[in-house]
Structure 1
């Protein structure tokens, strides 16, 4: 497999990806606490950015109403997708253990942000972590045990199963450093002894572009999960040109990539949890 590299430095551009929003973290259901994954993460981030929402909580009209809150008249909701197992419904079962093969069908639901609602319950207070963002990120990276060596550019080398990263002093900000390393860590998850992410069948000759898109989305998901705001790379417009044709020619590519990116982020979050717990207890 070829090395998977991050973009190189260049002058800033005016266009940045919509998932570089800097507020709210990962969108989650206001009452179940469940984090929205895959394409739903992107849909809610984009909707929040467009409308200026700083709150990460979303819920359906019915869920808000059941809590005594009221969606304001004229507010437009945002569609999210979920999958329903028709085989369970047909059999009238409630257990996941069944003889019949599952038959999943996509369904849409409409959710509203807490900023669109009157009488919104206050969000639960999160425990303060008495460390800065870079130490927290460093603990997370160390917990992965990924091999990281200094190199001329940032990339992941599958043949060596190691990440190459330029000196930290070469980065313009702490957020830029974290974003680049998170990008390479998502590439690191694709190996057979980790997530075994196989893209050839789905993307044929565009595997490299698809993997880069997965890493770009995954790094944003990872940083948001850690409570760090991702920072746009100064050369994003040129960098994205590598995978934009894939999305343009294949409308489902973004959905597939977002799903794979969420899986990679969840894999990495398993390393982040012990680091977070230790920081809170310190």
Structure 2
């Protein structure tokens, strides 16, 4: 049987969800430090499904370094992957011409393999990591939220995005045990907000149909985690996360490409929210 890159990645993600549901493991995207995994050679952060795959690999092996690269890329940097080290699967999409000669292209997922800096001899020294806990909520995060232009109504007992009114409701931050919990929840709702018509027009009903609601919650869960990592903040579970775990596992088991779709949508949401920062600053 041919190697199925979608199934291989999905199986690893499902394993983390099942372990988390059993209380045996913290999900790797609920991070207490560090940022997005990035390529050691290019400096660019990984996106979409590769963020999840590398976070899973880092947690399983206890790596705290966010730098990853292929065997050849580490060699270009003058480093040597130690003998016997096991790689972590990453995915790239190869472009092909349409087989029937039509003027369109298709992209096929292909496997590549990355090693963490901790697996190498002679890896360059890492820069100073962003502090995970010492940050000023008002200066760092409130400004980010304000520059999105989203309407946020504080108060009440639950956090939610209301599409009909195009606004976010969120309890007072004093109701949250930690500042990071507040920020993670806001990031979750902002991810929902980004998918509205006129923004990213996110529509998961085509692939997920009756499972669309749970799938959108997974997009928001991942979007919050990706956003927190990009801002150097801790990511904490959304209050409703536990009610969706079983439906997420069922979704991923039935469709090996579902986690790819959700992770890609989450990355696009974060890119959209981040791009708004400069646009709103220029308009001010």
TM over 0.5: yes
1:141 has 2:145 as partner:
yes
Gaps of 5+ in 1: 1-12, 91-98, 277-282
Q: Describe the shift of the 1:33–1:275 C-alpha distance in structure 2 as closer, same or farther (beyond 3 A).
A: farther
Aligned to 1:71: 81
Distance in 1, Cα, partners of 2:192 & 2:130: 31
1:224, distance to aligned residue in structure 2 (A): 0.3
Aligned to 1:132: 135
Aligned to 2:179: 174
Distance in 1, Cα, partners of 2:265 & 2:238: 22
> Which stretches of structure 1, 4 residues or longer, exceed 3 Å deviation after superposition?
13-16, 124-128, 232-239, 271-276
Report SS of the residue matched to 1:86. Answer: strand
Contact kept in structure 2, 1:16 and 1:236, CA below 8 Å = no
TM-score normalised per structure 1: 0.82
1:254, distance to aligned residue in structure 2 (A): 1.1
Contact kept in structure 2, 1:81 and 1:108, CA below 8 Å = yes
Aligned length: 253
Q: Describe the shift of the 1:230–1:85 C-alpha distance in structure 2 as closer, same or farther (beyond 3 A).
A: same
User: In the alignment, which of 27, 33, 36 is matched to residue 23 of structure 1?
Assistant: 33
Q: How does 1:145-224 map to 2 (within 5 A)?
A: 145-150=149-154, 151-224=156-229
1:53 has 2:63 as partner:
yes
Q: Which has the higher helix share?
A: 2
TM-score normalised per structure 2: 0.82
Q: Describe the shift of the 1:107–1:123 C-alpha distance in structure 2 as closer, same or farther (beyond 3 A).
A: same
User: In the alignment, which of 112, 116, 122 is matched to residue 119 of structure 2?
Assistant: 116
**Range moving further from structure 2, 187-196 or 144-153:** 144-153
Distance in 2, Cα, partners of 1:234 & 1:165: 12
Contact kept in structure 2, 1:79 and 1:109, CA below 8 Å = yes
Q: Describe the shift of the 1:256–1:235 C-alpha distance in structure 2 as closer, same or farther (beyond 3 A).
A: closer
Contact kept in structure 1, 2:34 and 2:130, CA below 8 Å = no
Distance in 2, Cα, partners of 1:275 & 1:112: 38
Distance in 2, Cα, partners of 1:61 & 1:19: 25
Root-mean-square deviation over aligned CA pairs: 2.5
* Larger RCO (alpha carbons 8 Å, 6+ apart): 1
1:62 has 2:72 as partner:
yes
**Range moving further from structure 2, 64-73 or 265-274:** 265-274
